[in-house]
Amino acid sequence: MSTWRDNVRKVIPYTPGEQPKEKNVIKLNTNENPYPPSPKVKEVMDSFDTSVLRKYPDPAVKDLVHALAARYGVADDQVFVGVGSDDVISMCFLTFFAGGKNVLFPDVTYSFYDVWASVYGVPYKTVALDADFRINPADYAVENGGIIFPNPNAPTGVEESLDTIRAILDANKDSVVIVDEAYVDFGAASALPLVKEYENLLVVQTFSKSRQMAGMRIGYSIGSPELIKYLNDVKYSVNSYTMNSLQIATGVAAVEDEAYFEECCAKIMATRERSEKELSKLGFTFPKSSANFIFATHETVPAADIFAALKEAGIYVRYFNKPRIDNYLRITVGTDEEMDGLFEFLAKYLEDK
């Protein structure tokens, strides 16, 4: 007998990183930035006129769009803003991948891609990275309904060159190619300069990592005016008011504080370099990271065992029980003090093994 359950869309949901409730833990599992947002963000929040909350926010998000356009040297009609880059990419799946052909993305990648594909009924095919977790552009020179990949990759931290991205674009002029640059500000080269050359390229970035605003949920994409128009058409058909007034105001403040942005990125990169040296001393190996995390495996001790021991000690990292990466830990780069706490525990734990 048919029931209401027969009409339910059933998917396997994305699993976010754990958010522990205990205090005094070392939290290195969700790639959050350990530093506070720009002081200018706090100034906006302290002086924010709450009376504006009785009105709907600007659906076009004009102030934030203009600030981002000025920051990246593009026109306002080349910028789309959403509630975190997850919202932006979700809109991209809904907008650009409707042709019925397989969308391509790597087999080791951001684990939300296959979820969005399932939710929206988008066919997809994963393309295997090579043994060094790198993309072979030739693998994408096949018929497809669109392409998306992170650069630097998540969860590996591996950066692909602009030559690799250009090769993919040259072979796919009839597909929308989306480069997800959530971690690009930690030392990688952005594909944004290629937007001028390729009308089918969309670059997605976020405030969650390098601008220390994961809790405010701001993401954006930059591409040709035509791509952005299509995104806005879908957005206005789903929910015109995706960004609230406080998000818009604090986002503008964060974009305009370039000095603080550069200072915090530099601190993360310096700590990452030191952390790589310390992890190497402890017997870990990892691909060179261009992100705010390190994807590490130990020479003798299984990742699952290390993960469990760390969690027991109140140190949270990310473990993915998935093919090809089930012996790796993704370790967010925290403050120097947090990383020292991690190294101290690991040194004792590994010595006792």
Residues 6+ apart with CB under 8 A from 262: none
Tell me what the mean pLDDT of segment 108-117 comes to: 96
Q: What is the pLDDT of residues 169-185, one digit of tens each?
A: 999 999 999 999 999 99
| Higher per-residue pLDDT: 14 or 346 | 346
Q: What is the pLDDT of residues 266-284, one digit of tens each?
A: 999 999 999 999 999 999 9
CB 191 within 8 A of CB 181: yes
**CA–CA separation, 179 and 171 (whole Å):** 15
pLDDT at 350 over 90: yes
Structural class in CATH, domain 17-37+259-352 = alpha beta
What are the beta bridge partners of residue 148?
178
Q: What does the pLDDT read at residue 304?
A: 98
**CA–CA separation, 207 and 105 (whole Å):** 23
pLDDT at 296 over 90: yes
Residue with token string 């004009």: 62
Q: What is the pLDDT of residues 213-256, one digit of tens each?
A: 999 999 999 999 999 999 999 999 999 999 999 999 999 999 99
Q: What is the band of 22 on the pLDDT scale with cuts at 50, 70, 90?
A: confident
Predicted model pTM = 0.96
Q: What does the pLDDT read at residue 17?
A: 87
The β-bridge relationship of strands 284-285 and 293-298 is antiparallel
pLDDT at 1 over 80: no
Q: What is the pLDDT of residues 74-99, one digit of tens each?
A: 999 999 999 999 999 999 999 999 99
- What residues does each domain of the chain span? 17-37+259-352, 39-256
15-19, 30-34, 212-216, 229-233 — which is least confidently predicted?
15-19
Query: How many percent of the chain have pLDDT more than 90?
Result: 93
Report the CATH architecture of 39-256: 3-Layer(aba) Sandwich (3.40)
Nearest C-alpha neighbor of 286 from the set 236, 327, 339, 225 = 327
